[in-house]
Structure 1
Amino acid sequence: MSPKTSRRTGTSAGTHLGPEWLTPRRLAGLVLAALVLVFVFENTRTTRIKLLGTLVTMPLWLALLATGLIGALAGALAASRRG
């Protein structure tokens, strides 16, 4: 069998620490997302925002959340183009 198709067998396969999906990068992303959500929901007052020439009144948390989602989408699109 080639190394790519071989399977782990024996008792050493389950001795890793933590789940395989929890990499340092994903853990950092989860911590950052939690901090962003705490920041967003701490700012609940209503605010006025000039949006494309019109004045919109909306909760500040909604504006922050929308901005964060747009930023995350832009980052994901930029990262996917790198290949």
Structure 2
Amino acid sequence: MSPKSSTKSSAGEGGRTSTLFTPTRIGVAALGVLGLVFIFENTRHTKIRLIIPEVTMPLWSALLITGLIGALCGAYFARRRS
């Protein structure tokens, strides 16, 4: 094996690792973890009015559903933009 091929493979592995943990991805992951902690800390039941019916459900599930709907909307608009 020549010295050129051995340096290319080691540089390629380092490049892949550096693109895996970017500051933006770390920030998004931290916000996601904080969001989940917030959701699961709020476990009491609450009344929620959905247009006409009134539903009693745990607050964490209402927050989780709202977060998922927001994430889906964000992904949809990000995809349409590109």
Q: Same fold (TM over 0.5)?
A: yes
The count of aligned residue pairs is: 76
2:55 corresponds to = 56
* Percent identity over paired residues: 49
What CA distance in whole angstroms lies between the structure 2 residues aligned with 1:75 and 1:15?
31
Cα gap change, 1:9 to 1:79, in 2 (>3 Å)? same
Query: Which segment drifts farther, 21-30 or 47-56?
Result: 21-30
Give the distance between the partners of 1:11 and 1:70, measured in 2 at CA.
Answer: 42
AA partner of residue 69 (structure 1): L
**CA–CA separation in structure 2 for the residues paired with 1:62 and 1:10:** 47
More helix by share: 2
RMSD: 2.1
Structure 2 spans left out of the alignment, 5+ residues = 1-6
Amino acid at match of 2:23: P
Aligned position for 2:65: 66
Q: Could you give the per-residue CA deviations for residues 50-69 of structure 1, whole angstroms, max 9, x where no partner exists?
A: 01210000000000000011
Query: 2: CA distance between counterparts of 1:19 and 1:12?
Result: 11
Equivalent-residue separation in structure 1 for 2:32 and 2:46 (angstroms): 23
Unpaired runs of at least 5, structure 1? 1-7
- TM-score normalized by the length of structure 1: 0.78
4+ residue segments displaced more than 2 Å? 10-16
- Report the CA distance shift for 1:10/1:57 in structure 2 as closer, same or farther (over 3 A): closer
**Cα distance between partner residues in 2 of 1:10 and 1:49:** 57
